[in-house]
Amino acid sequence: LHSVIDSSGLPVNRKLLREDISAKVSSFLSSVLNTCSLRERKISNQKLDLLVCPQSFTSDQIFALPLCFFLYLRENETCYFVGKDGLTSSSLSLPPDFQDNKGFGIGELVWGKIKGFSWWPGIVVTWRATGKRQASHGMRWLQWFGDGKFSEVSADKLDSITAFPKFFSQASYTKLASYRRAIFQALEMASIRAEKTFTPCESDNPDDQVKPMLDWANGGFLPKGEEGLKPTHTAGEQKRHKLSIRNKLQTFERLKTLLTMRAATFHPLFEGGLCQTCKDVYLEMSYMYDDDGYQSYCTVCCGGREVLLCGNANCCRCFCVDCLDILVDPGASNNARYLDPWRCYMCQPLLQYGVLKRRHDWSLKLQEFFANDKGQEFEKPKIYPAVPAEQRRPIRVLSLFDGIATGYLVLRDLGFKVDQYVASEVCEDSISVGVVRHEGKIQYVHDVRDITRKNLLEWGPFDLVIGGSPCNDLSIVNPARKGLYEGTGRLFFEFYRLLSEAKPKEGEDRPFFWMFENVVAMGVNDKRDISRFLECNPVMIDAIEVSAAHRARYFWGNLPGMNRPLCASGMDKLELQDCLEHGRVAKFGKVRTITTRSNSIKQGKDQHFPVLMNGKEDILWCTELERIFGFPVHYTDVSNMGRGARQKLLGRSWSVPVIRHLFAPLKDYFACE
């Protein structure tokens, strides 16, 4: 009863409603949802499940509808059931309120804060809902809106949901689909409790539909205010009660609105569709990977509180237990636990498992899903089908202007098997870092201007070509810049020359990827010329979303999903304080772009140093700079280099979380450990 999708239809955790639906109830539902029909399907000879499908959908596949239609309603500890007598609710037994006199009892809607993350809406839940231990003294278990995950949070880091104007972040709401989803879920639950209704919106724009709810929240949740948002149950209450006809109609009107939506797009891996909200979630989450190299979220729903990892050698996918039990077969997750190794539904034969059916052309659909050619001046790059896990081989890389081997570091962190990594670099300090930190596994070669076609034939073939030519003469920040055709700007054409030579020749059928990086602050004509030669437009990615520093860069290339949203993972250090050594205090949450110049460390118009230590301002230490960029601590501490030299190396480098974001989709093509 604790795994749900709420009435907004957003994929938190899924359980199908399994009740014996009588003819009386079917008639009642049909009369309310006059545009919908009831379908009952058998899954592995289990009890008939209730699914509501708009009549306009004629496909036999349940996935003809968006995934989020696999839902039932639950508000906090109150679950809704469809039974013989209509829609009823039942309150679960609850433990007594906490005894630490800090407030925030079970069921309260709150804002919560944990280290490394901004304030986020959630609901206080009983420890039984988490499947873990009781909360420590002064702590509360929260279930976060948006992803349904649980955290133990200090009561001192909680505030009532009524402090909406104080904690709501318009910037996060604009950028992050996960934050928009969380806000919508919180306000939806608040409106149910307060019995607040909103005038139906004729617009199909989700922002227009949510705006009245935001206005209501910013206005203090009137007329009932905080009193109207309290949990609808009391501790120990066990009796069942029927909902009023009015509440029934309100509930089913929400379902009706949801169920008459058409799928906004296809699911890239399995037969079926995604609504607009689920599409945004999939774009954000599908290529997030944990420290162990596996996906952070379920392959099907990009959610899931508990996931099962595929045991196939080169597969890095996981599936949540709810998707298995709902879409495949009740009890499928338990059966999978006893299989060692368990092969996921992307690795098993192309059959239908329950209602889960892998697309035969999923690898093409996956690239099509991320491809976005709107407003492009050029044809979209060739889409390579993903390579089956058992046919993937180690990757071979040519890195031009390699710097401190960020590309190699990220590939190894992601678990790739690297067959060969050929790096062109002229800076001796950078080469020293690469040699020492990667134990001679990188093959360093001479200046890019001296690399010939014969060299490439000798070293290749290559699967990935990467590079970022010096930006000194391209950056508009430099008043003495010489542009693309003079000085170091001309080195771009060396990248273009070697990229052209490294590409597969006609008749070679193998995946080939490339990426070129440079500064955003360049002249419009230079950007246009680079795009014309590379025959694609760049994507702009700012590391501020995954690190503690701004670092906006242009990336050209044909890597899969380059334009998908950038989303921080649990390993990313998002605040400056998280990057500092013990005993040092950050004066700022984020810092400006760190360059090779020492004064780039100073912040604001008054040029303050960003750190306080023993009551005095201080610069950032080298280890702290390395954490900001995502490198391991002491990564550049070689050859007795001083602080200035180490900052110059870091100032010319790539942001590790950004490159990790760009390289992650390549796991579908090359062998991993």
The residues annotated as belonging to the active site are 471
Residue written as token pair 């839940």: 125
DSSP three-state, residue 4 = coil
Angle in degrees, 0-180, between the axes of helices 276-285 and 177-193, rounded to the nearest 10: 140
Nearest to 548 by CA among 655, 437, 417, 401: 655
Phi-psi region of 492 (alpha: psi -120 to 50; beta: other; left: phi over 0): alpha
Angstrom distance (rounded) from CA 110 to CA 375: 42
Phi-psi region of 201 (alpha: psi -120 to 50; beta: other; left: phi over 0): beta
| E strand residue ranges, 27-134 | 36-41, 49-54, 74-75, 78-83, 86-91, 109-112, 120-124
Six token digits for residue 61: 């596949």
Dump the DSSP string for 264-325.
Answer: SEE-SSBSSEE-HHHHHHHHHHTT-B-TTSSBSS-TTTS--SSEEE--STT---EEEHHHII
- Alpha-carbon torsion angle 146, 267, 340, 147, nearest 10: 0
Q: How far apart are the first and last CA of the chain?
A: 38
Angstrom distance (rounded) from CA 33 to CA 27: 10
Phi then psi dihedrals of residue 23, to 5 deg = -60, -35
Amino acid residing at 277: T
